[in-house]
Chains A and B, each alone.
Chain A
Amino acid sequence: MRRAITEVLSRADRAFRRVTTGAGLTMLAILVVIGFFLVFRSGPAFDASGFGFFTTIRFDPASGVLGVLGLLYGTIVVALIAVLIAVPLSILAALFITEYSSGRIRGFLTGLVDLLAAIPSLLYGLWGFAFLGPQIVPVSLWLTENLGWFPLFSSKENALYIQSMFIAGLVVSLMVLPITTSVIREVFAQTPPGEKEAALALGSTRWGMVKTVMLPFGRGGIIGGSMLGLGRALGETIAVSLLLPQVPEITRHVLQFGGATISGFIANNSGASGLALSGLMAAGLVLFAFTLATNFTASVIISKSRSGAGVDA
Chain B
Amino acid sequence: MTPPAAPPRKLVKRRPSETTRQDRLAALGCAVSATLLTWFVMHLLLDSPGWLADLIVAYLLYLAMLYLVTRDRLGRLAASDRLVSTVVVTGALVLLAPLLSLLIYIVAEGAPYLRPGFFTHDMSAVAPTDPVTDTGGLHAVVGTLQQTALTLVLVVPLGVLTAVFLNETRSRFRRPVRIMVDAMSGLPSIVAGLFVYAALIIPGIQAGVGLFSYNGMMATLALTMVMLPTVTRTVDVVLRLVPDGLREASLALGASRARTVWSVVLPTARTGVTTAVILGIARVAGETAPLLFTSFGALGMNANPFSDPQESIPLFIYRFIKQPLENVQQRGYVGALVLILLIFGLFAIARVVGRDRSQRKAKRITVKTQENR
- Known A27-B162, A118-B279, A263-B190: A34·B195 in contact at CB below 8 Å: yes
User: How would you classify the secondary structure of chain A's contact residues: helix, strand, loop or mixed?
Assistant: helix
Q: Are B94 and A123 in contact (CB under 8 A)?
A: no
Residue numbers in B under 8 Å from A238 (CB-CB): 288-289, 318
B352 at the interface (CB under 8 A from A): no
> If A10-B256, A12-B259, A235-B188 touch, does A92 touch B198 (CB 8 Å cutoff)?
no
Q: Is B16 an interface residue (CB 8 A)?
A: no
Question: Shortest beta-carbon distance, B160 to chain A, in Å?
Answer: 8
Stretch binding the partner chain, chosen from A56-64, A154-162, A247-255, A276-284: A276-284
B64 at the binding interface (Cβ < 8 Å): no
B158 shortest CB reach to chain A, Å: 6
Q: Does A113 contact B (CB under 8 A)?
A: yes
Q: A131-B105, A138-B49, A139-B52 are in contact. Are A28 and B343 (CB under 8 A)?
A: no
* A122 nearest in chain B by CB position: B288
A12 in contact with B258 given A24-B162, A95-B88 (CB within 8 Å): yes
Cα–Cα, bound, A273→B194 (Å): 11
> Is there an interface contact between A109 and B92, defined as CB atoms closer than 8 Å?
yes
- Chain B at the A interface: SS class: helix
B245 interface residue (CB < 8 Å to A): no
> What string of 1s and 0s marks CB contacts (under 8 Å) between A110-143 and chain B?
0111111011111110110111100100110110
Q: Are A112 and B99 in contact (CB under 8 A)?
A: yes
Question: Smallest CB-CB separation from B241: which chain A residue?
Answer: A312
Q: Is the CB of A284 within 8 A of B81?
A: no
Q: Which of A13, A273, A288 contacts B257 (CB 8 A)?
A: A13
Number of interface residues of A (CB under 8 A): 93
Chain B residues whose CB sits within 8 angstroms of the CB of A237 once the complex forms: 188-190, 288-289
CA distance A126 to B158 in the complex (A): 33
A309 at the B interface (CB under 8 A) = no
Besides A120-B283, A205-B81, A288-B188, 16 more A-B contacts (Cβ < 8 Å) are A10-B256, A20-B161, A24-B174, A26-B158, A26-B162, A28-B177, A100-B92, A126-B332, A126-B333, A238-B318, A266-B191, A267-B292, A288-B191, A292-B186, A299-B182, A312-B233
Shortest C-beta distance, A300 to chain B (Å), equals 11
Say how far B164's CB is from chain A's closest CB, in angstroms: 5
Q: Is the beta-carbon distance between B343 and A118 smaller than 8 angstroms?
A: yes
* Cβ of B152 to closest chain A Cβ, rounded Å: 16
Interface bits B4-22 vs A (CB < 8 Å: 1, else 0):
0000000000000000000
Q: How far is the CA of A299 from the CA of B202 in the complex (A)?
A: 37
Which stretch (A45-53, A206-214, A218-226) binds chain B?
Answer: A206-214
28 cross-chain CB contacts under 8 A: A9-B256, A12-B259, A13-B257, A17-B169, A20-B165, A23-B161, A23-B164, A27-B177, A31-B184, A88-B91, A109-B95, A112-B95, A114-B347, A118-B343, A119-B340, A123-B106, A130-B321, A135-B52, A142-B53, A205-B78, A206-B84, A235-B187, A263-B189, A267-B289, A267-B292, A277-B202, A288-B188, A292-B186
Chain B positions 230 through 263: 1 when the CB is less than 8 Å from some CB of chain A, otherwise 0: 0011000100100000000000000011110100
Q: Please report A residues at the B interface, Cβ cutoff 8 Å.
A: 9-10, 12-13, 15-17, 19-28, 30-32, 34, 37-38, 41, 88-89, 91-93, 95-97, 100-101, 109, 111-116, 118-124, 126-127, 129-132, 135, 138-139, 141-142, 174, 177, 181, 205-208, 210, 231, 234-235, 237-238, 242, 262-263, 266-267, 270, 273, 277, 280-281, 284-285, 287-288, 291-292, 294-296, 299, 312
Cα distance A15–B258 in the bound complex, in angstroms? 8
Give the complex CA separation of A277 and B293 in angstroms. 11
7 A-B pairs closest in CB distance: A120-B286, A92-B91, A16-B258, A23-B161, A205-B81, A20-B165, A235-B188
B311 smallest CB distance to A (angstroms): 14
Contacting pair B177 A89 (CB below 8 A): no
